[in-house]
Amino acid sequence: MLATYYQLVQLNKAIAVQRESARISRERLTIAEAAKNIGTASGLQVVQAQLDLSTDSASALDLRAQQAATTTRLNALIGRDPATPTVVDADMPVAGTLDLAQIQGAARQANSAVQRARQQQIAADLGVKELRGALFPQVDVFANYGYTKSTSAVGILQSNQALGPDYGARVSIPLFRGFQARSAMEVAKLQREQAALTTEQVELDLEEGVLNAWTTYTSPHSASPWKKPTSPAAARKWTSRWIASVSVRSRAWNYAMCNKAWWLLKDGCSWPATKPNSPSYS
């Protein structure tokens, strides 16, 4: 339920971002059409802007469909009518610090599949011990205290009465059973090995799931790719990426300044004599 809830929060944020992206694409299309009309841009730029706007609009529609499906699923998990409007928080709570070893231990103790596999392994071990015990001699001891009385209308003994304890011991030695016990023992050993392998496989699957979830959880908290590196090789790579980013933003700023100049000249305004301040890139 919590995963569905926060997925809905994430979809709401994604829809807001996609709407802003569509608005920017619409403005780019307007600028490209105006530039084409005055002869400073080609039709290819207009087509590219139209394509970007169509892509952003389609992405927004897809996110809305996912939002509706997630809302329906959340209502079903809560036990409400699927058509009930649902309002969720705008932000996700800040995640606290977690210990991987503690999470792995808790998962091993609480996972039902691991517990079931361990119980099956214990049952297989007991089955082997039970069959192994049947191969050895068996001693049974019994004891009781009884009272019996019988009468007869004819014969020498007209009545018989017995009173007292009765005890003893029985010893049974298995000599030959047609190798049935040995065959059953081999089958039980194979079942025990299979149960051990199943338990190990279930534990490995659990470890994989926990590690994947841990990687997903810790990925947003990892170091930023724009953090200044320490090694020379990483420093050269970081410098090239920073220069590429500055170059892209510089072209975007120059394009915006040219567009602003065109609108000022169109409205009959004069371009300021002073040079505007250059943008700061950090």
pLDDT values of the chain reduced to their tens digit, one per residue, 282 residues: 677 877 888 888 888 888 888 889 889 889 888 888 888 878 888 888 888 889 888 988 898 898 888 888 888 888 888 788 878 877 766 666 777 888 888 888 888 888 888 888 899 888 888 887 777 788 888 888 888 877 777 767 677 777 778 788 888 877 776 677 778 888 888 888 888 999 889 888 888 888 888 887 777 655 444 454 455 555 555 555 544 554 444 455 555 555 555 555 455 544 444 444 444 433
Q: Please indicate, yes or no, if residue 155 is contained in any of the structural domains.
A: yes
Q: Please indicate, yes or no, if residue 243 is contained in any of the structural domains.
A: yes
Q: What is the pTM of this model?
A: 0.40
In sequence order, the β-bridge partners of residue 146 are 164
Q: Please indicate, yes or no, whether residues 2 and 85 belong to a single structural domain of this protein.
A: yes
Cβ contact 156:181 at 8 Å: no
- Tokens 């530039």 locate to 35
pLDDT at 271: 43
- Domain tally for the chain? 3
Owning domain of residue 122: 108-215
- What single DSSP character describes residue 274? S
Q: Please indicate, yes or no, whether residues 256 and 161 belong to a single structural domain of this protein.
A: no
How far is 211 from 205, CA to CA, in rounded Å? 10
Q: Please indicate, yes or no, if residue 225 is contained in any of the structural domains.
A: no
Q: Please indicate, yes or no, if residue 172 is contained in any of the structural domains.
A: yes
Q: Please indicate, yes or no, if residue 100 is contained in any of the structural domains.
A: no
Q: Please indicate, yes or no, whether residues 52 and 126 belong to a single structural domain of this protein.
A: no
Q: Please indicate, yes or no, whether residues 160 and 249 belong to a single structural domain of this protein.
A: no
pLDDT at 133: 77
